[in-house]
Amino acid sequence: MYTTLLTTIEAGTMIITINRPDKMNALNKDVIEELGAALDEVYNNPEVKSAIITGAGEKAFVAGADITEFLSLGADGGAALATKGRNLVFDKIENCPKPIVGAVNGFSLGGGCELAMACHFRLASANAKFGQPEVNLGLIPGYGGTQRLTRLIGKGKAMELLMTADMIGADEAKALGLVNHVTALEELLPRTKEILQKIHTKAPLAISKIIACVNECADGDHHGFDKEIKRFGESFATEDMKEGTTAFLEKRKAAFKGK
């Protein structure tokens, strides 16, 4: 179905693997378009409860963008490239009502770091490296890197990493809050799947509301508290709320239906 991706669905989780290992899984026009299509399936396939984005091989998650596509672009072309990526992929990941987790295996640089940061949270293998090296090319990040990195690790450290183009390892990324867990490479996908299986046992509508509320907070939405109250109230009208509270009182496991 795809030429640059591998996709499988396992126990309700769609695993999307960027499959250009000979190019360190670099993002190009085809990868962006196919990621957009795969994300549409995550949104629309009722069998899919969550997704994992990872890279093929052991060396790279995504080692950046395909620079060969840049040389022919002017100002308008560069802005159009970034806008297309944002609409097709990056914002679609961040705003997905189902959890999307980045499983970062190796280099996660430039557009790759931005792809990981668009995910709801991230796990990294011990050999992972993160960085935004765009200034080395006379560029800045264009897929949300200046915004999401600042939100995740704070202004001062984001300024340093963006301006120096320095890479950081997995342990430092965890210490800064860029990733939630660091695992051995062979444990990366199993651990990510384990966390998502736990999330699958929770109420899907409540999970989608959590994603929306947390994103609004990260965006600095001054109406976030009011929107939380609104969604809190809406939750009381769901079948899942009735099931969850009844199951708690009856001391049994809830069977949520996403209704």
* pTM, full prediction: 0.91
- State yes or no: pLDDT of 68 exceeds 90: no
If DSSP codes are grouped into helix, strand and coil, which group holds residue 78?
helix
Task: Tell me what pLDDT residue 18 has.
Answer: 98
pLDDT in the model for residue 29: 93
Q: Pairing state of beta strands 168-169 and 129-131? A: antiparallel
Give the mean pLDDT of 116-137: 97
Distance CA 63, CA 180 (A): 20
Residue 228 above 80 pLDDT? Answer: no
Q: Are strands 13-18 and 5-10 parallel, antiparallel or unpaired?
A: antiparallel
Residue 41: what pLDDT?
97
Q: Which residue has the higher pLDDT, 162 or 229?
A: 162
211 pLDDT above the threshold of 90: yes
Which neighbouring-strand residues pair with 122? 102
Residue 243's nearest CA partner among 212, 197, 204, 209 is 204
> What fold is seen in the domain 5-200?
2-enoyl-CoA Hydratase; Chain A, domain 1 (3.90.226)
Q: What is the DSSP string of 174-235?
A: HHHTS-SEEE-GGGHHHHHHHHHHHHHTS-HHHHHHHHHHHHHHHTT-TTHHHHHHHHHHHH
| Whether the predicted pLDDT of 148 surpasses 80 | yes
pLDDT in tens, 99-117: 999 999 999 999 999 999 9
Q: Of 10, 41, 94, 134, which is the active-site residue?
A: 134
Which pLDDT score, from 0 to 100, does residue 25 have? 95
Closest Cα to residue 177, out of 117, 125, 99? 117
Mean pLDDT across the stretch 42-68? 94
Partnered with residue 108 across adjacent β-strands are 62, 130
pLDDT in the model for residue 102 = 98
Is residue 134 part of the annotated active site? The answer reads yes
Mean pLDDT, the chain, rounded, equals: 94
Structure tokens belonging to residue 247: 């199951």
- Asked if the model's pLDDT at residue 221 lies above 80, the reply is no
Q: What percent of the chain has pLDDT over 70?
A: 100
Active site residue 239: no
Is 96 within 8 Å of 43 (Cβ atoms)?
yes
Q: Are 152 and 171 in contact (CB under 8 A)?
A: no
